[in-house]
Amino acid sequence: MNTLALVGNPNSGKTTVFNALTGSNQHVGNWPGVTVEKKEGKFKFNGKTYNVVDLPGTYSLGAFSEDEIVARDFILKGNPDVVINVVDATNIERNLYLTTQLLEMKAKVVVALNMIDEAQERNINFDIEALSKELGVPIVPTIASKRKGIDELIKMSIELIDKDIKPNVKISYGEDIDREIKNLERLLNNKNFEYPSQWIAIKLLEGDKYIYELLSNDESLNSSTEFKDTIDRIKDNIDDYELKIVDKRYEFVNNVVKKAVKRPKEDVETKTDKIDKIVTNKWLGIPIFALIMLLVFQLTFAVGEDLLGGLMSEAMGALGEIIKNSLVKTNSPKWLVSFVSEGIIGGVGAVLEFIPLIVVLYMLMGILEDSGYMARAAYVMDNIMRALGLQGKTFISMIVGFGCNVPGIMATRTLDSKKDRMIATLINPFMSCGARIPVYLVFIAAFFPDKGGLVLFLLYFLGILVALLMGKIFSKTLFKGETSYFIMELPPYRLPSFRNVLRNMWDNVSGFLKRAGTTIFAVVTILWILAVLPLGVEPYSKNSILGQIGTFIAPIFKPAGFGTWQAAVGLFAGLAAKEAVIATLGMVYTGVGEGAALISAVQNAFTPLSAISFMVMTLLYTPCAATIATIRKETNSSKWALFAALYTFLVGWIGAVLVYQIGTLLGFS
Amino acid sequence: MLVETLREIKRQPIFSKKSLADKLNVSEDMVGNALEQLKRMGYLEEEKPSHCSRNCKFCSFNCSSSSLNTMVITPKGEKLLSSN
Ligand SMILES: Nc1nc2c(ncn2[C@@H]2O[C@H](COP(=O)(O)OP(=O)(O)OP(=O)(O)O)[C@@H](O)[C@H]2O)c(=O)[nH]1
Ligand SMILES: [Mg+2]
């Protein structure tokens, strides 16, 4: 019985062709890799029965995967009479790369030019005659899913079985390689391997491990010094040979396509190009980036705070009441009521209230990223970064830092020079991470309720500015040296997928929730204990241990306009995690169970000007413990970690003092 | 074709498939193939965002950030460029 084998790229329609030929019902799927092992079937034509084998889809016939080996072994050892190469007409270059390898095998090939319907829809047209001539094999256009062209394919294949022709197209790999192939062929010729000698020769030059292993078991070959010398010589040049062979195959494909395929003139300017012309423009790029970010923050506020914000804070307030009441009702000890209502609900609750806004912000950021815009932003920033002596890739770690500085700093690993990496690590903490948002929000609600988006935007922007400035200073002083370039593909714009956006959001928000339940909870617990001790003292007062610590630190912050013990304690707690700043304020402004009370307490304790300077301080000062630990780990140096902690504190303090002093001079309060 | 692609990438390190295709006078699909082959043969390497290694306990950040994947020309690739 004669056998036909179906070979082709994943998802090119082999199984559909198989089903059309045999009438059987193999699984057809619209994703690559459905057929894992080969499937066999039969069909009758003119009274004769034929065997059909459906092979797994592969892009190549090397030894790259199990599938490739299964497919090529069947073609070479299974002795099919004809190989039907199912080619996806909408993706012709990639598919023909496989075809060239079938030609190398000297298999009897019929090409089923499948999905011709979709190709037509995309205005891709084929000159079948030219294609057939260039490849030296018969071509049958098919629409397998509609059984179109299948009879023609059967006829053509069966005709070929009896014809004694083999592919006559010769692919030249260049003089050197062609000579080497001839030479190897001569050495292999009378050795009786199951594979054709020429094919083995090509595979040896490509560095195919499987074939090397096969030959290493052949004693007569290995006893030949000529063969050994040849192999040694090849091995010395293997990378070069492999590259040239692959290259020549592509050259061949490219040639065939140029002669036989007509595609609609690719728009000289695609939509992506048009957008890119504007958003990556030398002058407009940065203003547009700034504008987009401003829009993001405005939208975040409009949706996250104005629309949804109230709900969460009411829910937290109500939940707090219920828990407190039930504690009181069950006669729980007074300290427990205080701990739960002031410590946990006042503290952790104050942080959780901002979840809606954070959800919205990270969804919008996710949209920017998934649409492909963020890559453009990185491109635009690359120019500025380089002008400042910084590596463009630094900006990517900075974007990651907007989520959390810990992964931001880990992302600097992709910077290859030590200099670039150190700088990127040291400036990452200035990127405003998600944990700082609750702090801003409380102060915005207290003093700038209708300018929330703008204030947030300015803070983020200030963070970037300070980071760039410090980066410039570092590259001029501490770490000198060349900055290298970075390689990145700008993908075409696309509609963001809901899934990716949701995932991006959840990755950030879940971290936030996790911290609220762990770090923030622990910090609040410790601070609560410090706030009610020593026994007998009025809780949350200046005389508690916490109050005394705060009173001790507070004078440092006097020039910045917030020299109160509560503010000092808040900032101190923020060293553990930035949300703790707000959790602490929520707790120490006693009895605060819900947002509105905290906000009015803040209104009493701060002025608009000192509120701004406090936000600037929160943005810039020493990052949280986890970030410092990461810096230590990544730089492998406690010295640098300590340096990072101290210099950021100094930068934050100077920033806050400048804001307050200049603002006072200008007559703000 | 592969060497030219690699060289062009070095010349314009922030590229799109289209800009390379225009420059090399081939189709975008072809550029895609060339990039894939260059990666497979180890001349070009995609940089997996290292923070995705799941060892970050304090946070979790989006690792599917598909639009921001950078690459490097490996030493093997640099050698190829300088010898051709
Ligand atoms: N429009 C169109 N769709 C087709 C045609 N041929 C097959 N398909 C569809 O393409 C998809 C993939 O077909 P399969 O037959 O599973 O592809 P395969 O080559 O066997 O895939 P693997 O087994 O994964 O290698 C299915 O959804 C088919 O319905 C065609 O000629 N035109
Ligand atoms: Mg299949």
Reported as a single tens digit per residue, the pLDDT across A328-337 is: 888 778 777 7
Looking at residue A643, its pLDDT comes to 94
Q: Which residue from A239, A272, A392 is facing B76, i.e. has the nearest CB? A: A239
Same domain, A531 and A627: yes
Q: Are residues A252 and A378 in the same domain?
A: no
Cβ–Cβ below 8 Å for B30 and A403: no
If one residue of A6, A11, A60, A95 were mutated to test the ligand 1 pocket, choosing by the most ligand atoms within 8 A of its CB, it would be A11
Q: What is the count of residue pairs from A and B with beta carbons less than 8 Å apart?
A: 163
Looking at residue A328, its pLDDT comes to 80
Average pLDDT of the segment spanning A110-119:
95
**Contacts B35 to A, Cβ<8 Å:** 489
Residues whose CB is less than 8 angstroms from the CB of residue A347 and which lie 6 or more positions away in sequence, other chains included: A520, A524, A527, A528, A583, A584, A586, A587
A residues 90..109 contacting B (CB < 8 A): 91-94, 97
The answer to whether residues A574 and A524 touch, using CB atoms and an 8 Å cutoff, is: no
Indicate the residue type of A318: A
**Within A105-149, where are the H helices?**
116-121, 128-135
Lowest-confidence region among A480-484, B40-44, B47-51, B68-72: B47-51
Determine which residue's CA is closest to atom 26 belonging to ligand 1: A30
Distance from CA of A429 to the nearest CA of B (A): 15
Distance (angstroms) between ligand 2 centre and the Cα of A11 equals 7
Domain identity same for A15 and A56: yes
CA–CA distance, A564 with A551 (Å, rounded to integer): 7
Measure in Å the smallest separation between the Cα of B71 and chain A Cα atoms: 5
Tracing tokens 């294609």 back to the chain, one arrives at A131
Flag whether A168 is in a domain: no
CA geometry: angle A269, A270, A274, nearest 5 deg: 75
Q: Is B12 on the interface with A (CB under 8 A)?
A: no
A32 or A195, greater pLDDT: A195
pLDDT at A148: 93
Q: Which residue on chain B is closest to A255 by alpha carbon?
A: B26
Residues A152 and A295 in one domain: no
Same domain, A374 and A498: yes
Residues A367 and A230 in one domain: no
What pLDDT sits at residue A447? 92
CB atoms within 10 A of CB A380: 23
A residues 227-246 lying closer than 8 A (beta carbon) to B: 239, 242-243, 246
8 Å CB contact between A87 and A114: yes
CA-nearest residue to A626 within chain B is B58
Q: How many domains does chain A have?
A: 3
A260 — phi, psi (to 5°)? -120, -5
- State residue A93's pLDDT score: 92
User: How far is A123 from A519, CA to CA, in rounded Å?
Assistant: 59
Q: Is the Cβ atom of A16 under 6 angstroms away from ligand 1?
A: yes
**pLDDT at residue number A583:** 81
User: Which is nearest to A208 in space by CA: A17, A384, A7, A72?
Assistant: A72
* A154 assigned to some structural domain: yes
SS3 A451: coil
pLDDT score, position A430 = 96
Closest residue in chain A to residue B61, using alpha carbons only: A507
Would you place residue A29 in the very low, low, confident or very high pLDDT band (cuts 50, 70, 90)?
low
Query: Residue B58, Cβ neighbours under 10 Å: how many?
Result: 21
- Residue A149: predicted pLDDT: 94
A117 lines ligand 1 (CB under 6 A): yes
Which of A9, A16, A58 is the pocket-test mutation for ligand 1 (most atoms within 8 Å of CB)?
A16
Using the mean position of ligand 1's atoms as its centre, give its distance from the Cα of residue A498 in Å: 27
Give the 3-state secondary structure of residue A384.
helix
pLDDT at A112 over 90: yes
Question: A257 CB less than 6 Å from ligand 1?
Answer: no
Question: What band does B54 get if pLDDT is binned at 50, 70 and 90?
Answer: very low
A247 → closest Cβ in B1, B28, B67: B1
Strands (E) across A96-232 are located at 109-114, 125-126, 139-141
Asked if the Cβ–Cβ distance from A507 to B61 is below 8 Å, we say yes
Question: Between chains, do A407 and B14 touch, taking CB under 8 Å as contact?
Answer: no
Strands A48-54 and A2-8: parallel
From A227, A262, A297, give the residue that closes a domain.
Answer: A262
- Which residues of chain A have a CB within 8 Å of the CB of B45? none
Contacts of A662 (CB under 8 A, 6+ apart): none
Residues 511-530 of A with CB under 8 A from B: 511, 515
**Mutational pocket test of ligand 1: of A15, A22, A147, A153, the residue with most ligand atoms within 8 Å of the beta carbon:** A15
Q: Collect all residues of chain B within an 8 Å Cβ-Cβ radius of residue A246.
A: 2, 37, 41
Q: Is A543 a domain residue?
A: yes
**Does residue B56 register a pLDDT over 50?**
no
Q: Is the dihedral of CA A237, A243, A246, A247 positive or negative?
A: negative
Q: Which residues 412-441 of chain A have a CB within 8 Å of chain B?
A: 413-414, 416
pLDDT of B58: 43
Two structure tokens written together for A266:
């690719």
User: Tokens representing A194?
Assistant: 């199951």
Helices then strands, each counted (H, E), chain A: 33, 9
| Contact B50/A at CB under 8 A | yes
* Nearest of A331, A347, A329 to residue A339 by alpha carbon: A347
Rounded CA-CA distance A318/A297 in Å is 28
B14-15/A487-489 β-pairing: parallel
Q: What is the dihedral of CA A539, A543, A546, A552, to 10 degrees?
A: 160
The whole-number average pLDDT for the span A97-125 is 93
Q: Is A91 in the pocket of ligand 1 (CB under 6 A)?
A: no
- In the reported structure, the alpha carbon of residue A8 is separated from the centroid of ligand 2 by a whole-number distance in angstroms of 9
pLDDT at residue A462, as a whole number: 95
CB A75 within 8 A of CB A69: no
The closest alpha carbon to A342, from A314, A323, A329, belongs to A323
* Structure tokens that stand for A245 in this block: 């062979």
Residue A83 pairs in a beta bridge with A5, A109
Among A53-57, A88-92, A250-254, B55-59, where is mean pLDDT lowest? B55-59
Per the document, the length of chain B is 84
In the block, residue with structure tokens 């397998």? A144
Amino acid found at A286:
I
A378 to B64: CB separation less than 8 angstroms, yes or no:
no
* Highest-pLDDT range among A172-186, A383-397, B65-79: A172-186
**A501 plus A638 within the same structural domain:** yes
Does a structural domain hold residue A270? no
CATH number of the domain encompassing residue A208:
1.10.287.1770
Query: Which chain B residues contact residue A515 at CB under 8 A?
Result: 58
Residue-range domains of chain B with CATH: 2-83 (1.10.10.10)
The shares of helix, strand and coil residues in chain B, as percent rounded to the nearest 5, are 55, 10, 35
Q: CA nearest A499 in B: which residue?
A: B64
A407 with A330, same domain: the answer is yes
What domain range includes position A338?
285-481+492-665
* B59: confidence class by pLDDT, cuts 50, 70, 90: very low
* Residue A279 counted as domain residue: no
Of A162, A189, A222, which marks where a domain is finished? A162
Same domain for A425 and A446, yes or no, is: yes
For A4, list phi and psi in degrees, rounded to 5: -110, 135
CA distance A229 to A185: 15
Spatial neighbors of A410 by CB under 8 A, at least 6 apart, are A630, A634, B50, B51, B53, B56
Alpha-carbon distances of A451 from A349, A356, A435, A667, rounded to whole Å? 24, 18, 20, 20
CA pair distance A615, A595, nearest whole angstrom: 18
Judge whether residue A485 has pLDDT over 60: yes
- Co-location of A567 and A626 in the same domain: yes
User: CB pairs under 8 A, 24+ apart, for A29-36?
Assistant: A32/A57, A33/A57, A33/A67, A34/A10, A36/A67
Examine residue A275 and state whether it is found in any structural domain, yes or no: no
3-state secondary structure of A267: coil
Confidence tier at A31 by pLDDT (50, 70, 90): low
Ligand 1 contact via A78 beta carbon (within 6 Å): no
Q: Which two tokens stand for residue A29?
A: 């799927």
Q: Beta A139-141 vs A109-114: how paired, if at all?
A: parallel
Residue A50 DSSP one-character state:
E
Of A246-250, B8-12, B62-66, minimum mean pLDDT range: B62-66
Pair of tokens at residue A659? 């804001």
Reported as type and span, the H/E element at residue A40 is: strand A39-45
Categorize the per-residue pLDDT at B57 as very low, low, confident or very high, splitting at 50, 70 and 90: very low
Q: Residue for token digits 């270059």? A: A93
Contact A492 B14 (CB under 8 A): no
Q: Do A375 and B67 touch (CB under 8 A)?
A: yes
Write down the pLDDT at residue B55: 44
% of chain A exceeding 70 in pLDDT? 95
Angle at B43 between CA B39 and CA B44, to 5 degrees: 55
From atom 23 of ligand 1, which residue's Cα is the shortest distance away? Answer: A35
In this prediction, residue A359 carries a pLDDT of 86
Is the CB of A73 inside 8 Å of chain B's CB atoms? no
The C-alpha atoms of residue A410 and residue A397 are separated, in whole angstroms, by: 8
Picking from A444, A447, A408, A442, the residue whose alpha carbon sits closest to that of residue A579 is: A442
- Say whether both A314 and A401 belong to one domain: yes
Percent of chain A with pLDDT over 90: 34
pLDDT in tens, A588-627: 775 544 556 778 888 888 899 999 999 999 999 999 888 8
B82 touches chain A (CB under 8 A): no
Asked if A111 and A137 touch (Cβ cutoff 8 Å), the reply is: yes
Average pLDDT, chain A: 86
Chain B CB contacts of A407 below 8 Å: 51, 56, 59-61
- Do A358 and A465 have their domain in common? yes
Which of A98, A129, A162 is where one domain is finished? Answer: A162
**Across residues A259-269, what is the average pLDDT?**
80
- pLDDT per position as a tens digit, A53-97: 999 889 999 887 888 888 988 998 888 999 999 999 999 999 999
Look at residue A267 and tell me if it is in a domain: no
The secondary structure element, H or E, covering residue A539 is none
Distance B33 CA to ligand 2 centre (A): 22
Cα of A70 vs centre of ligand 1, distance in Å, is 20
Does the interface predicted TM-score (ipTM) exceed 0.95?
Answer: no
What secondary structure letter does DSSP report for B63? S
The tally of CA atoms less than 13 A away on the side-chain side of residue A421 is: 14
Q: Is ligand 1 within 6 A of the CB of residue A112?
A: no
pLDDT for position A35: 57
Using pLDDT thresholds of 50, 70 and 90, give the confidence band for residue A36.
Answer: low
Closest C-alpha to ligand 1, atom 16:
A28
Structure confidence by residue, pLDDT tens digits, A336-359: 777 777 777 767 777 777 788 888
| CA distance to A282, B15, B26, per residue, from B23 (Å) | 21, 11, 8
Does the CB atom of residue A29 touch ligand 1 within 6 A? yes
| Amino acid (1-letter code) at residue A282 | K
Contacts of A411 in chain B (CB under 8 A): 49-51
The nearest CA of chain B is from the CA of A168 a distance in Å of 24
In a domain, A64, yes or no: yes
What CATH number corresponds to the domain at position A113? 3.40.50.300
